[in-house]
């Protein structure tokens, strides 16, 4: 979404037609309060829709007290996350305005707000599309990491009980998960002579034998042994 107030700002009005032509990509004209562009992010829960919010500033606008107030307000949204300032550099291509704005943001304790410089307003649509793709990729990677963490935690929990009697201590669980890709892999290791020697070498004979016994004698047999032991 982009704010209709861009039509009244001389540096940004020329890019409005390009944004309007890409409504299929989600750049819908509307009224936004405190920022100029936003797009939806993948929700982290079923109850809360998240947005990435962007403030558009020209080099001239960035020098004003009103711009600093808008940046400060932006930095307070969503705890300062998922926000950015897109700064249109002056036509000479000098970065003085970028340096000045960065210094102002740091001085006023808003260092968490990133600044994305642009040499031309015509770059805006491409930059927005790229930023949205980047956010989507970051979310996908985050979900993948969380899934892997959950999977490893589940494997560790199961591996700790693949013994006769008391659960394995964490350091021995770490060893088992390092030498195997999962419980199936661990079972294959246990049923080979070389694998059994490796387990006993790594865990010690007593702990290694408990692991081997669990797989070779079966869980039910081990449970009966623990009852009678």
Please give the full DSSP string across the chain, using - where no structure is assigned: -EEGGGGGSTTTGGGHHHHHHTGGGT--EE--SS-SEEEEEEEEETTEEEEEEEEEEEHHHHTSHHHHHHHHHHHHGGGG-SEEEEEE--TT---HHHHHHHHHHHHTT-TTS-EEEES-GGGHHHHHHHHHHHHHHHHHHHHHHHHHHHHHHHHHHHHTTSSSSSPPPHHHHHHHHHH-SSHHHHHHHHTSHHHHHHHHHHH-HHHHHHHHHHHHH-HHHHHHHHHH-
User: For a pLDDT cut of 70, what percent of the chain falls above it?
Assistant: 79
User: Does the structure show a pLDDT above 80 at 18?
Assistant: yes
Residue of higher predicted confidence among 147 and 28:
28
pLDDT, one tens digit per residue, over 56-112 is 999 999 989 899 899 999 988 887 788 999 999 877 656 777 888 888 877 777 767
In this prediction the pTM is 0.59
Q: Distance between CA 137 and CA 58 in Å, rounded?
A: 29
Going from N- to C-terminal start, the domains of the chain cover: 2-146, 160-228
Domain 2-146 has CATH 1.25.40.80: no
């Amino acid at each position: 979404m982009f704010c209709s107030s861009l039509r009244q700002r001389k540096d940004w009005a020329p890019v409005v037609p390009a944004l309007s032509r890409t409504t299929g990509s989600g750049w819908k004209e509307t009224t936004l309060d405190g920022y100029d562009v936003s797009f939806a992010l993948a929700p982290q829960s079923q109850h809360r829709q998240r947005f990435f919010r962007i403030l558009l500033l020209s080099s001239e606008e960035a020098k004003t007290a009103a711009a600093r107030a808008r940046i400060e307000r932006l930095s307070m949204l969503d705890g300062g996350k998922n926000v950015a300032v897109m700064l249109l550099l002056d036509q000479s291509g000098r970065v003085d305005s970028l340096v000045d704005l960065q210094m102002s943001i740091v001085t006023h304790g808003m260092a968490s707000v990133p600044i994305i410089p642009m040499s031309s307003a015509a770059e805006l649509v491409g930059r927005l599309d790229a930023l949205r793709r980047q956010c989507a990729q970051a979310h996908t990677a985050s979900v993948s990491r969380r899934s892997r963490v959950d999977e490893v935690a589940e494997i560790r929990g199961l591996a700790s009980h693949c013994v006769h009697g008391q659960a394995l201590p964490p350091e021995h669980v770490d060893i088992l998960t390092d030498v195997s890709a999962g419980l199936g892999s661990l079972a294959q290791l246990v049923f080979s002579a070389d694998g059994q020697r490796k387990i006993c070498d790594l865990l010690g004979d007593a702990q290694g034998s408990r692991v081997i016994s669990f797989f070779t004698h079966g869980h039910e047999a081990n449970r009966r042994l623990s009852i009678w032991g």
